Amino acid sequence: MTMLAAHPPQHPAVLETLLAEYRARTTGSATAFRRSAAVLPGGETRNVTYYPPYPVILAEGHGSRLLDVDGTEYLDLVNNYTSLVHGNAYPPAMAAAAAVLTSGAVFPSPHELQLELAELLAARIPSVQRVRFTNSGTEASVLAARLAQRATGRGRLLLFDGAYHGSAPPLLADGPEVVTVPYNDIDAVREALTEDIAAVFAEPFLGAGGVIPGRPEFLRAVAELARERGALFVLDEVQSLRNSVGGEQTRLGLHPDLTVMGKVIGGGMPIGAIGGSEELLRLTAATTDGGLAHSGTFNGHLTAAAAGTVTLRHLDAPAIDRLDRAAHRLADAITAAAVRVGIPATVTRAGSILNVHFTPTAPVDAEQARATASTPLLGALHLALLLDGVYTTPRGMINLSTALDTDSLDRAAQAYANAFQRMAEMEVTP
């Protein structure tokens, strides 16, 4: 189980032209990155945000715009990897967080703002009766795994190839407790779901694995099989909660035992959470004999609780619908622009999250996505877009925020058309 390569290979011809332009445009970033690399290994604190020769160093973000240290503006199609659903420094969320900062942002006792967010999550997501907060999606996944192991008395976890549930054991592909099977392959699940599996972890779509939607009947069959065989069905909605008021589980007709949450629920601040039935979540309570030891100095940090509550309230069904329609249009425009210049490309999409793949047909599992991700076209596209003032991810994933207006979306589509045109002229090939 591996995610897509964070920084795909570069084409030699592209290296000469695009990289020369990039270096000339980002001298301030180069200087800042050298300083950074002297103290942060690889110049970064997140593997996924690095790309060669060095990433632009960002200084500010406002709505749909990012500004780098050289003063160059970019249209933001990354939104801190899907977490900023209303764009950068969303004023209502930042005002809520700022209000907390002057009256105490963290206490060694529960606070009404935590209750408000927990109540909101429980009201929105049918399978969530109780909520437990953590500081990140990674921590929430780890807690879900521990809870499943305790509740079932079993040790192993079934994950999907290409899934990402965070960067900590036991949810790593090569972990001793992990069994991995291909996504969208129910026969493989049937075979691997033995009596020692504590939980099946599934994303509604492979997010970091290439934005590959799960077939609804596949996900429902996985949940059913898990139940039949005494394992918990854990749905990781860390990315997908932005796509539906009640999470993708409502759209798919799923009722997971546990839901893993993060990103948008913190409104731009660090957070994670698990949700589920009263019976299961009781195992995390201090008052439960034989329960799990679960603490965290900053669990349910009030800046995240306050910003997250406002963010979710503003992420209502009409807002999600607008994001969905805009994403659909952009996906079509990107595909059409590539086809016009003879570059084979498909855009996979899950709500407002998209991924460009340089292949004429959409990949349905991680192996197919990885095969297409090794092309130099991805690196060329990323650089060409940056040089045209559009900030995307090296692996081809983009996502929308409500801060993007129609003009910005048209500009994004035009930037893709320009980039493909440049790539075609430079004869960058798969």
Ligand X SMILES: Cc1ncc(COP(=O)(O)O)c(C=O)c1O
Binding site for ligand X (CB under 6 A): 81, 136-138, 141, 164-166, 203, 207-208, 236, 238-239, 262, 272
CB 134 to ligand X: min, Å: 9
> Which is nearer to ligand X, 331 or 353 (by Cβ)?
353
Q: Determine the residue with CB nearest ligand X.
A: 137
CB 375 to ligand X: min, Å: 23
CB 412 to ligand X: min, Å: 22
For 152, counting Cβ atoms within 10 Å of its Cβ (0-12 exposed, 13-18 middle, 19+ buried), the class is middle
> Which is nearer to ligand X, 250 or 418 (by Cβ)?
250
> Which is nearer to ligand X, 63 or 268 (by Cβ)?
268
Q: How far apart are CA 3 and CA 395, in angstroms?
A: 10
> Which is nearer to ligand X, 391 or 416 (by Cβ)?
391
CB 195 to ligand X: min, Å: 27
Structure tokens at 282: 């009781």
Give the relative orientation of helices 406-425 and 376-387 as an angle to the nearest 10 degrees.
130
Structure tokens at 121: 């999550």
Q: For residue 307, count other CB atoms closer than 10 A to its CB.
A: 28
Question: At a CB cut-off of 8 Å and minimum separation 6, what does 15 contact?
Answer: none
| 206, β-bridge pairs | 212
**C-alpha distance from residue 91 to each of 32, 98, 365 (Å):** 28, 10, 39
**Phi, then psi, of 231 in degrees rounded to 5:** -100, 155
**C-alpha distance from residue 372 to each of 17, 82, 204 (Å):** 23, 22, 21
> Which is nearer to ligand X, 81 or 416 (by Cβ)?
81
Q: For residue 352, count other CB atoms closer than 10 A to its CB.
A: 25
CB 250 to ligand X: min, Å: 17
CB 148 to ligand X: min, Å: 15
> Which is nearer to ligand X, 166 or 268 (by Cβ)?
166
> Which is nearer to ligand X, 210 or 272 (by Cβ)?
272
Q: How far apart are CA 193 and CA 196, in angstroms?
A: 8
- What is the β-pairing status of strands 212-213 and 205-206? antiparallel
CB 238 to ligand X: min, Å: 4
Question: At a CB cut-off of 8 Å and minimum separation 6, what does 119 contact?
Answer: none
